[in-house]
């Protein structure tokens, strides 16, 4: 594609939760100089001119931005489809009504499990009941509701009950997304990576639910990379369909790319159209010319694009290596060893290391 259709606007990395699988950067203090309201307005206008159609407002917790309603109204006025990705803490009825009036199109609420004590333990703070209450407000105000659940060895055995909760709150869509091992999830991989038996049991439940709920609710299930024969394409191809703007204005081809040793490109220094087309960070792994073997000669090179660059860097120290998830990768043993270890452990053995509650102060 010549231009992206999706913008992930990470408004802040501040968050009231302490999820041990959080993929946001470990060094949160580096992102305390958040873009001001007028800067986000300019970014949204440049994104629209670039061809963006969808704007996903995320974080951290975007509700911690006091100017969230203004940002939503700006995106709506530009004709962008807006989706709020939220923990729902701070999603009061009055705030929800303001966002509805501003033109917000869709709400996605995360929850950590179907049972209050389990959900609150994983989230690192009491939050379950507020999340469920917020889901009720979303439906009462007429929004489409997506319920997002990050799955891992601590909650995947509860997937049937999670789906039951999604039915109870009348979700239009439920995303059962197995953990991606970036940020704090990488720190906690041993405690999060499920066993093969857990995955197989979950897949049986999900298949049955898809059939039963096909006329009422979309059920999306994402298999963990570590158990795949081939890697997933990175965001549909590096800098191909979507882009991310971080709280301090860095532009990235995917949310996890801040971990890579690549030159930075900021909306504070350049226009978004120039960054998309010309910035080294966007061109580093675009297309297929950069690929090493075995990717370069693989018939799947334009299907999975060598897999995830961030995962390759996390596991090998070289972002240009074939994603070790691929069974053809010379580094595949790094993943195979982790899978073997996960299957040698009982389903829940290890304690999670929670993401710290220490948060950068609000920007301008």
Query: Per the annotation, where are the binding residues?
Result: 15, 19, 22
**Which one-letter DSSP state was computed for residue 266?**
B
* CA distance to 110, 127, 302, per residue, from 272 (Å): 30, 37, 26
Q: Please, is 26 exposed, middle or buried when counting C-beta atoms within 10 Å of its C-beta (0-12, 13-18, 19+)?
A: middle
Q: How far apart are CA 360 and CA 337, in angstroms?
A: 37
- 121, 123, 124, 129: CA torsion to nearest 10: -80
Cβ neighbours around 364 below 10 Å, total: 10
Pick out the residues of the known binding site for [4Fe-4S] cluster. Answer: 15, 19, 22
Q: How far apart are CA 96 and CA 104, in angstroms?
A: 9
Asked whether 178 and 207 are in contact (CB, 8 A), the reply is no
């Amino acid at each position: 594609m010549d231009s992206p259709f999706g913008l992930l606007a990470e408004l802040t990395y501040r968050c009231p939760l302490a999820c041990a699988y959080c993929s946001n950067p470990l060094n949160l203090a580096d992102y305390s100089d958040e873009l001001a309201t007028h800067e986000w307005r300019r970014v949204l206008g440049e994104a629209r001119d670039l061809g963006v159609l969808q704007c996903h407002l995320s974080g951290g917790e975007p509700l911690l931005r006091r100017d969230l309603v203004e940002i939503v109204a700006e995106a709506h006025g530009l004709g962008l489809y807006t989706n709020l990705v939220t923990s729902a803490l701070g999603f009061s009825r009055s705030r929800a009504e303001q966002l509805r009036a501003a033109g917000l199109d869709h709400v996605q609420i995360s929850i950590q499990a179907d049972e209050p004590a389990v959900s609150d333990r994983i989230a690192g703070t009491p939050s379950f009941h507020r999340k469920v209450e917020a889901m009720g407000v979303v439906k009462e105000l007429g929004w489409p509701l997506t319920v997002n659940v990050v799955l891992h060895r601590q909650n995947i055995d509860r997937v049937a009950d999670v789906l039951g909760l999604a039915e109870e709150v009348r979700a239009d869509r439920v995303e059962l997304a197995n953990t991606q091992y970036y940020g704090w999830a990488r720190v906690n991989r041993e405690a999060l990576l499920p066993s093969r038996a857990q995955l197989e049991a979950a897949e049986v439940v999900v298949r049955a639910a898809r059939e039963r709920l096909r006329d009422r609710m979309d059920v999306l299930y994402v298999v963990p990379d570590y158990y795949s024969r081939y890697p997933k394409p990175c965001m549909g191809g590096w800098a191909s369909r979507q882009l991310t703007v971080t709280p301090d204005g860095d532009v990235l081809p995917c949310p996890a790319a801040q971990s890579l040793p690549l030159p930075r490109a900021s909306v504070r220094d350049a226009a978004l159209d120039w960054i998309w087309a010309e910035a080294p960070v966007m061109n580093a792994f675009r297309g297929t010319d950069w690929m090493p073997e075995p990717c370069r000669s693989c018939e799947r090179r334009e299907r999975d694009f060598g897999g995830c660059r961030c995962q390759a860097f996390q596991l090998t120290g070289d972002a240009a290596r074939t994603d070790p998830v691929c069974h053809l990768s010379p580094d595949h043993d790094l993943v195979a060893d982790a899978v073997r270890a996960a299957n040698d452990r009982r389903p829940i053995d290890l304690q999670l290391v929670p993401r710290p509650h220490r948060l950068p102060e609000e920007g301008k």
